């Protein structure tokens, strides 16, 4: 039951964190081509990328990704690594005659159902507490389980749009939006710090290009939020 539940939890969390890291304009494409030129690939990935992605999958020692955003190679290796470890467990129960087929099916279904419920609670908690990233919670735990960066960026733009729509008379609503923008300003600082490589040999050649592009995008967004806070302050 627990193995299927853990796999379902891992799979759902990884799906929500997967975002292709590909260039979407000419300048980024030039840098990306320079970083990846001359490489022989399998399904678009080099053997080193596959090996490093597999290392990243196992480096967490638990079926939840340490990274706030995964690319396609990371997702495939992450799901494969933990699938190989967790999915054979129900079949081993049958081989060892510890459970009947009905018990295995019932336990697996219950585990996956509980994982989906738990994932819903986790997602709701992340959305409410993402502004506490990097802070100590209850004096013991440091919050480092963030929403994917693209969700944080999307929330920033929604708040900026909402701040433009609030009428001058809606002071209470504006204060709420400004408060949330201040929280997002701090969140973006945490995401930019996370772009620094923690293990150089476990980084791809194009990771520095992607990190620089992402850092510049986050910095522009943070500056825009800062300007809005100054105007409304």
pTM over 0.85: no
3-state secondary structure of 122: helix
Look at residue 120 in the predicted model and tell me its pLDDT: 92
Question: Would you state the pLDDT for residue 231?
Answer: 82
Ranges assigned E (strand) in the chain: 136-137, 141-142
Per-residue confidence (pLDDT) for residue 221, from 0 to 100? 92
**CA 228 – CA 230 distance, rounded (Å):** 5
Contact yes or no for 35/206 (Cβ under 8 A): yes
What the block records as the tokens of 166 is: 């609030």
Q: What is the pLDDT of residue 230?
A: 87
Instruction: State the DSSP H helix or E strand holding residue 211, giving kind and residue range, or none if neither.
Output: helix 207-232
pLDDT at residue 143 in the model? 87
DSSP alpha helix (H) spans, 59-87? 72-86
Give residue-wise pLDDT tens across range 103-114.
Answer: 999 999 999 999
pLDDT, residue 183, reads 92
Question: Which parts of the chain register pLDDT below 70?
Answer: 1, 21-26, 28, 30-63, 166-170, 197-207, 233
């Amino acid at each position: 039951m627990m193995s299927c539940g853990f796999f379902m939890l891992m799979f759902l969390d990884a799906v929500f964190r997967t975002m292709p890291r590909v260039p979407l304009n000419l300048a980024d494409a030039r840098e990306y081509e320079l970083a990846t030129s001359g490489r022989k690939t399998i399904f678009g990935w080099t053997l080193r990328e596959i090996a490093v992605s597999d290392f990243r999958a196992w480096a967490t020692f638990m079926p939840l990704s340490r990274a706030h955003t995964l690319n396609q190679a990371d997702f495939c290796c992450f799901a494969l690594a933990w699938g190989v470890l967790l999915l054979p467990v129900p079949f081993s129960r049958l081989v060892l005659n510890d459970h009947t087929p009905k018990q295995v099916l019932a336990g697996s279904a219950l585990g996956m159902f509980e994982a989906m419920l738990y994932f819903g609670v986790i997602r709701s908690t992340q959305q409410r507490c993402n502004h506490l990233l990097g802070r100590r919670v209850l004096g013991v735990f440091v919050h480092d389980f963030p929403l994917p960066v693209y969700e944080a960026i999307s929330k920033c733009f929604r708040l900026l749009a909402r701040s433009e729509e609030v009428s001058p008379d809606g002071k209470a609503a504006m204060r709420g939006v400004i408060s949330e923008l201040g929280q997002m300003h701090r969140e973006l600082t945490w995401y930019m710090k996370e772009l620094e490589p923690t293990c150089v040999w476990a980084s791809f050649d194009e990771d520095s290009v992607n990190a620089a592009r992402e850092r510049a995008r986050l910095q522009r967004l943070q500056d825009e939020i800062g300007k809005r806070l100054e105007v409304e302050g």
